[in-house]
Structure 1
Amino acid sequence: MTSSALPDRAEAQAAAATADEPLLKVSGVTRYYGDRIGCTDISFDLWPGEVLAIVGESGSGKTTLLNCLSTRLAPTAGAIEYRMRDGAMRNLYQLTEAERRLLMRTDWGFVHQNPAEGLRMTVSAGANVGERLMAVGNRHYGNIRDTATSWLERVEIAADRIDDQPRAFSGGMRQRLQIARNLVTHPRLVFMDEPTGGLDVSVQARLLDMLRRLVADLGLSVIIVTHDLAVARLLSHRIVVMRHGRIIETGLTDQVLDDPREPYSQLLVSSILQA
């Protein structure tokens, strides 16, 4: 992977050659906390441009799984392979710490439920976006500021707020700023942990509409953890239902939500409909 935010010609050729191959391969991933199961025997492939939703009640293991996939938490067993920009598949937990950090700063994004965890609250909105650009080698202040301004507007934040600190923003604006910070380097894979949690319904709707547009425009692959099946339906192509740390059902989102096969999935869907 190069340090550039945009793929060069060789990377573009490699991407074209591997477009019909998985971007991420997850094989038998298991995580224990002592004797307690976080998640166990999780296997699936994620494809370029695919949005995968992981759903389940609190304690189902979905956040543990997301943290293992994003290298924030080492699995007890199993393998997670990622297709680098040169087309080579690499086991994420065989990368050096420096290689993983570079991946997280450039080719990946991570959108936290609480945007304060994904932002620097005491520097300006522009600096939050600009930091990520500097991480991929940009050094020209004028270009960085212009790009930051463009991205603020793209996530529906007025350009004249570029010098304001995130602590002066509303919760919805902070979340949109966090999204801009993550997407400015044109990552190929973005992890999202309950990105609409804690937001008012009207703010959620605006954020979801923006997310759906950006994901489609940028051709992103996304793994999103959510307890909200409406979010899963709106954003995802495919869905994974977890319970007690295991995958109990998976399939196309509309198929699973409209005609769930497993009793637990049926209960999950019916409880939302009755709410």
Structure 2
Amino acid sequence: MASPQPLLRVRGIGKRYGDRVALQDASFDLWPGEVLAIVGESGSGKSTLLNAVAARDKPDAGSVQFQTRSAGLREVFAMSEAEQRLLARTDWGFVHQNAAEGLRMDVSAGANVGERLMGLGERHYGRLRATASEWLARVEIDPARIDDAPRTFSGGMRQRLQIARNLVTRPRLVFMDEPTSGLDVSVQARLLDLLRQLTRQMQLAAIVVTHDLAVARLLAHRMMVMQRGRVVEAGLTDQLLDDPQHPYTQLLVSSVLQP
């Protein structure tokens, strides 16, 4: 990566829920334009790590630093709530597994896309509508459906609309929690192809949580494998999948252990 500093620096993240250790001493760097997959079976801690790094659930230990446009690397949890909200609306995006959690289901598709732009001060109706129409086309939704509510859309269309809503502000980092889970295989394939195109075109950094190693191979430059709240192996995606070193990664790859 060309940048001399990481876009995101995560060190020693830990999280407990009562007596249960959900996450222990997780650390990594993420570089501009890089896609990182976090994989592991259910309960391995991957979603806990994603939510902690995305400042959706404050960790009990560790630090998350983000390369801001104006002040360089800043500790996210030292930011004010207003600064965190601004970050979430501008340089960050979050794609939920269930698209309904990331959309306003009873307002139009165009309003869903335009809302983030309005949060940055855009008020011109014509520009908002034109940009929303452009983004619907980019995520393969017929712009003629700009006035339709997401509740009338299929699952795959909702997920594509959620992606458009997140990317319209041209963020530098997007968090994705099982973005293809629950979709038909053919719909998954189209969505993955779209995500791969958009991350490359926009030089977008992304952290993708998935239990599907095929998703990791298709989307991610690097991969982290989690087991019982710990990162047990990390490296280049193809290298880990073709020559896993840790016994747990070997089980995942051989499909002896069903994720």
TM-score, with structure 2 as normaliser = 0.98
| 1:20 aligns to 2:4 (yes or no) | yes
Secondary structure at the counterpart of residue 182 of structure 1:
helix
* Deviation of the 1:137 alpha carbon: 1.3
Q: Which residue of 2 aligns with 1:194?
A: 178
Residues 247 and 274 of structure 1, relative CA distance in 2, 3 Å threshold: closer
Q: Is the 8 A contact 1:229 1:272 kept in 2?
A: no
2:213 pairs with one of 229, 234, 245: 229
Task: Find the aligned partners of 1:213 and 1:140 in 2 and give their Cα distance.
Answer: 29
Corresponding residue of 2:117: 133
Pairs aligned (count): 258
- 1:17-71 deviations in Å (ceiling 9; x for gaps): x822100000101011111111100111000000000000000000000000000
Q: Percent identity?
A: 68
**Counterpart in the other structure of 1:209:** 193
Q: Is 1:74–2:58 an aligned residue pair? A: yes
Counterpart residue number, 2:28:
44
Aligned residue in 2 for 1:160:
144
Residues 1:274 and 1:179: Cα distance change in structure 2 (over 3 Å): closer
- Aligned counterparts of 1:66 and 1:135: Cα–Cα separation in 2: 24
State how far apart, in whole Å, the 2-side matches of 1:187 and 1:234 are: 21
Query: Are positions 1:33 and 2:14 aligned together?
Result: no
Determine if contact 2:41/2:258 at 8 Å carries over to the other structure.
no
Please say if residues 37 and 208 of structure 2, whose CA atoms lie closer than 8 Å, have aligned partners that are also in contact.
yes
- Please state how far the C-alpha of 1:136 moved relative to its aligned partner: 1.1
Counterpart contact for 1:54–1:224, Cα < 8 Å = yes
Cross-structure match for 2:153: 169
* One of 53, 74, 83 as aligned partner of 2:67: 83
CA distance in 1, matches of 2:44, 2:187: 27
Q: List alignment gaps of at least 5 residues for structure 2.
A: none
1:223-266 deviations in Å (ceiling 9; x for gaps): 00000000000000000000000000000000000000001100
CA distance 1:272–1:144, shift in 2 (3 Å): farther
TM-score, normalisation: structure 1 = 0.92
Contact 2:251 2:257 in 1 (8 A): no
CA deviation string 1:179-220 (max 9, x = no partner): 000000000000000000000000000000001000000000
Q: Alpha-carbon deviations, 1:88-121, whole Å to 9, x = none?
A: 1110100000100010011100000000000000
Structure 1: 5+ residue stretches without partners? 1-17
In the TM superposition, residue 87 of structure 1 has moved relative to its aligned partner by 4.9
Would you say the 8 A contact 2:252–2:258 is kept in 1?
Answer: no
